[in-house]
Amino acid sequence: MTTRSETQTTLDHLLTEIEHRNPAQPEFHQAAHEVLETLAPVVAARPEYAEPGLIERLVEPERQVMFRVPWQDDQGRVRVNRGFRVEFNSALGPYKGGLRFHPSVNLGVIKFLGFEQIFKNALTGLGIGGGKGGSDFDPHGRSDAEVMRFCQSFMTELYRHIGEHTDVPAGDIGVGGREIGYLFGQYRRITNRWEAGVLTGKGQGWGGSLIRPEATGYGNVLFAAAMLRERGEDLEGQTAVVSGSGNVAIYTIEKLTALGANAVTCSDSSGYVVDEKGIDLDLLKQIKEVERGRVDAYAERRGSSARFVPGGRVWEVPADLALPSATQNELDENDAATLIRNGVKAVSEGANMPTTPEAVHLLQQAGVAFGPGKAANAGGVAVSALEMAQNHARTSWTAARVEEELADIMTSIHTTCHETAERYGAPGDYVTGANIAGFERVADAMLAQGVI
Ligand code: GLU
């Protein structure tokens, strides 16, 4: 029987190997570290997981596709972007995960997201593997026609690699209902198939699921509420800071407000807005979803309760709860120290890996409840899997039914993470609980299916 420290040494060697084999991919290294650092207790306790090659296979994507995406802008000039799809693990089901269109996208970013997605999807308890894709295309400031031409060119290559039983993309940063529409249209045109289950996040009239747009934000708030309940508290009357102003942030604010909390901030890359009366969602939705504008317009139009802080970070606003819902590494150790000083009780990640490892450590040491993204933001992909189920059955469920299923899934993810952390000697540590529980499910399937 190997000890935990011997196991940890083996995992540390593997991490060094991962860094060598995947140079210049710091986000992927970070995501791999974060998982492998917590697996020693389970690998030491269950010898089958120490089988040579199991974890080595888990950290190597099954397939990685990179391709040229040429398109013409409105002036007729040819632009060239890079497209990616990383099909990481299909032991539990077809690859599943979003597409991100953002200038920061590169292979390492997509690999970190795909790796996270494996464990997140496993935690939902549904039959979905892990994958992620995207492009360094920046939709900001582009006309609808340009976005359409880009999406059509992107799909002209991607269609070969996806399918309802193979790989099912969805949205992520920069990819919402508009982009999914253009991508679906081009897939249908090329393949001559009405294959609703090939993409999720579709429009409601053509195969989309009710509550899919809301699901990530709603789910994160339900997860935060479950963490608070463990401590004998609820959301009523709590002040919350939320970063971001995209789909995740908007529906996080909506659910917080519905459950009696006061969500006082939102942000984008230009700075943040603080509104002591609570964010007015109709105004925010109008600015972000209809006008595709910036958050400073919110402060201008809202009146005296709100102000715009250029270049600042929402974490400096005192709050009981923090829900980072923008992007990776947006909350560092200085931000964590500020939150702790201001008495934060819980941090729950709506975005993927928004909290740096140093910040996570600091928060956990200070006794703050910390919900890692792969558990806390799994509601989005979970409802995507429910969208696939509806598509397969050629039916659509009521909003109430989808919301009920979402709530059950979030409760069960919370319970699983909580109990797993306890079982492996780390009570209250949701990072360890989420990593081990997700790992167990995928690893068992991989072992059963042989060396592939
Ligand atoms: N992009 C979302 C995530 O990070 C959703 C993926 C999906 O619905 O497939 O989980």
pLDDT tens readout for residues 233-247: 999 999 999 999 999
- Ligand 1 pocket mutation pick from 172, 202, 212, 413 by most atoms within 8 angstroms of CB: 172
- Tokens linked to 205: 């009239």
Which residues of the chain form CATH 3.40.50.10860? 63-195
- Tokens linked to 41: 């207790």
Are 197 and 322 spatial neighbours (Cβ–Cβ below 8 Å)? no
Are 132 and 86 spatial neighbours (Cβ–Cβ below 8 Å)? yes
- Tokens linked to 193: 């198939």
CA–CA separation, 111 and 59 (whole Å): 10
How far is the CA of 91 from the CAs of 85, 186, 451, in angstroms? 17, 29, 11
Q: In a 10 Å sphere around its CB, with 0-12 CB exposed, 13-18 middle and 19+ buried, how is residue 310 labelled?
A: exposed
CATH of the structural domain 215-376, one choice from 3.40.630.10, 3.40.50.1820, 3.40.50.720, 1.10.287.110? 3.40.50.720
User: In angstroms, what is the span from residue 350 Cα to ligand 1's centroid?
Assistant: 11
**pLDDT band at 3, cuts 50/70/90?**
confident
Instruction: Tell me which fold the domain 63-195 belongs to.
Output: Rossmann fold (3.40.50)
How far is the CA of 266 from the CAs of 15, 276, 310, 343, 452, in angstroms? 36, 12, 12, 20, 45
Q: How many helices (H) and strands (E) does the chain have?
A: 17, 13
Ligand 1 site residues, Cβ closer than 6 angstroms: 96-98, 170, 172, 200, 352, 380-381, 384
For residue 384, which atom of ligand 1 is closest to its CA? 8
For residue 383, which atom of ligand 1 is closest to its CA? 8
Are 115 and 77 spatial neighbours (Cβ–Cβ below 8 Å)? no
Query: What stretches of 269-389 adopt beta strand conformation (E)?
Result: 271-275, 306-310, 321-323, 346-348, 369-371
User: In angstroms, what is the span from residue 110 Cα to ligand 1's centroid?
Assistant: 12
CA–CA separation, 321 and 224 (whole Å): 8
Candidates 248, 250, 255, 292; CA nearest to 273 is 250
Q: At what angle do helices 212-230 and 379-392 cross, to 10 degrees?
A: 130
pLDDT mean over 92-116: 98
CA–CA separation, 5 and 3 (whole Å): 5
Q: What is the pLDDT of residues 306-347, one digit of tens each?
A: 999 999 999 999 999 999 999 999 999 999 999 999 999 999
**pLDDT band at 102, cuts 50/70/90?**
very high
Question: Is 374 in the active site?
Answer: no
Q: What is the pLDDT of residues 170-219, one digit of tens each?
A: 999 999 999 999 999 999 999 999 999 999 999 999 999 999 999 999 99
Q: 251 phi and psi, to 5 degrees?
A: -80, -15
For residue 172, which atom of ligand 1 is closest to its CA? 1
Q: If you ran DSSP here, which 8-state letter would residue 367 be given?
A: T
Are 84 and 107 spatial neighbours (Cβ–Cβ below 8 Å)? yes
pLDDT at 2: 74
How far is the CA of 223 from the CAs of 73, 247, 378, 413, 428, in angstroms? 42, 17, 10, 8, 14
Q: What is the pTM of this model?
A: 0.97
- Tokens linked to 400: 């109430």
Candidates 152, 126, 13, 15; CA nearest to 72 is 152
User: In angstroms, what is the span from residue 315 Cα to ligand 1's centroid?
Assistant: 25
Q: Position of tokens 């509104």?
A: 275
**pLDDT band at 1, cuts 50/70/90?**
low
Candidates 410, 430, 406, 412; CA nearest to 420 is 430
pLDDT mean over 372-388: 98
For residue 128, which atom of ligand 1 is closest to its CA? 9
User: In angstroms, what is the span from residue 100 Cα to ligand 1's centroid?
Assistant: 10
- Tokens linked to 431: 């990072």
Of the candidates 96, 120, 132, 374, the residue annotated as catalytic is 132
User: In angstroms, what is the span from residue 175 Cα to ligand 1's centroid?
Assistant: 11
Q: What is the pLDDT of residues 14-31, one digit of tens each?
A: 999 999 999 999 999 999
How far is the CA of 43 from the CAs of 51, 262, 402, 430, 448, in angstroms? 9, 42, 36, 18, 17
Query: Of 4-8, 233-237, 383-387, 437-441, which range is least confident?
Result: 4-8
The residue whose CA is least distant from atom 5 of ligand 1 is 381
Are 283 and 301 spatial neighbours (Cβ–Cβ below 8 Å)? yes
The residue whose CA is least distant from atom 8 of ligand 1 is 381
Which residues of the chain form CATH 3.40.50.720? 215-376
Share of the chain above pLDDT 70, in %: 100
Q: In a 10 Å sphere around its CB, with 0-12 CB exposed, 13-18 middle and 19+ buried, how is residue 297 labelled?
A: middle
Average pLDDT, the chain: 97
